[in-house]
Structure 1
Amino acid sequence: MAISATVIRAKISIADMTRHYYQDHHLTLAQHPSENENRLMIRLLAFAINAQEDLQFTKGLSTSDEPEIWLKDLTDTIELWIELGLPDESRLKKAANRSKHSILYCYDEKSFDPWFKKMESKLPKKKMDIFKINDEDAKNLESLYARALDLQINIDESEIMITDNNTHKTINISVVKVN
């Protein structure tokens, strides 16, 4: 018998002072059986950082033809492709070729440097921004995990403050490459 996805309900109130975006989002996320809590929370964070009206989660891990999150226009053109982790070269090329812009959020510090050394010359030269979340911040984010989330997310440049009813966490995103 196959293990089914876990349904996560999230209410996130975003105050992004950098982009002047202030909005509440009521989201339903499917946590794939192979997706750990850390990765799901990073996926939610990536959504919050890039939030806009038509931004959507995709099937994610269950399909190789879609990113984790995307923004499509009315003609079905992919405006924004958001990827997580340390993907292979073909995945990065697909992101750059199929979208107008792509963003990669990397995590797992000990694997990042060898991956980046190997991939740096193969990275798309245009249309891709790369950011890194350090292990301590990823663990702080994971500590907020629950099947029903109610989060206030304040974004100011690369510093993100996330608050639930009991805790307050600060997450910093490092810029690796921006086009």
Structure 2
Amino acid sequence: MALKATIYKASLDVSDIDRNLYSDHSLTIARHPSETDERMMIRVLAFALNAPANNDQGLLEFGKDMWEPDEPCLVQKDLTGLLVHIIEVGQPDEKRITRLCSRAAKVTVYSFSSSTPTWWAGIASKLTRLRNLTVWQIPAEQSQKLAAMTQRSMSLQITLQDGALFIGDGTDSLEITLQRLHGQD
């Protein structure tokens, strides 16, 4: 018998002072049996960091990447169905990144493993020509602390100001230092 996804609920209160964006999001997250708390929370964080100011550019939605290998982690399509933004978490190989960059106007990757510097050093020179790609590193210690905030029902306050990212759940708080490895805003 196949294992089923575990459902998590997250209420996000996002205050992105840098973009003058204040929004609330109620998310239902299907966590694949093989997905860790850490990876799931990075997906939630990626959603919060990239949620559009309004729906005029389309909705940002979770993809089916854990069930369908060719699907992205998060995807934003415009109102005509065109891919605007693809978001991946982890360490996709250079062929996958190149393929995604050919499909969407913007591609963002969030890597959170302690092996990120080694992974990036191995593929960086092959991806420098991709102008629509941005790659971020989240320090492993910080992503593990974020994973410790996982609950089946979560209420997270996320504040981004002057490049500093703060996350709180009413009990604990955490500062995450995003390091840009490639790309620009």
TM-score, normalised via structure 1 length: 0.95
Q: Which amino acid counterpart does residue 3 of structure 1 have in structure 2?
A: L
Q: Residue 19 of structure 1 aligns with which residue?
A: 19
> Which secondary structure does the structure 1 equivalent of 2:44 belong to?
helix
Tell me, yes or no, if the aligned pair for 1:101 and 1:128 is still in contact at 8 Å: yes
Q: Residue 124 of structure 2 aligns with which residue?
A: 120
Shift >2 Å, 4+ stretches:
none
Paired with 2:103 and 2:88, the residues of 1 have a C-alpha distance of 13
Paired with 2:25 and 2:43, the residues of 1 have a C-alpha distance of 14
- More displaced stretch, 120-129 vs 68-77: 120-129
Percent identity at matched positions?
A: 34
Paired with 1:94 and 1:146, the residues of 2 have a C-alpha distance of 34
Deviation at 1:98, TM superposition (A): 0.4
Q: Which amino acid counterpart does residue 175 of structure 1 have in structure 2?
A: R
Paired with 1:62 and 1:157, the residues of 2 have a C-alpha distance of 36
Higher share in strand: 1
Across the two proteins, how many residue pairs are aligned to each other? 178
Tell me, yes or no, if the aligned pair for 2:18 and 2:163 is still in contact at 8 Å: no
Q: Structure 1 unaligned runs (5+)?
A: none
Deviation at 1:64, TM superposition (A): 2.2
Q: Residue 146 of structure 1 aligns with which residue?
A: 151
Deviation at 1:113, TM superposition (A): 2.1
Q: Structure 2 unaligned runs (5+)?
A: none
1:38 aligned onto 2:29: no
Q: Which amino acid counterpart does residue 164 of structure 1 have in structure 2?
A: D
> Which secondary structure does the structure 2 equivalent of 1:153 belong to?
strand
Deviation at 1:158, TM superposition (A): 2.8
1:76 aligned onto 2:81: yes
TM-score, normalised via structure 2 length: 0.92
Q: Which amino acid counterpart does residue 170 of structure 1 have in structure 2?
A: E
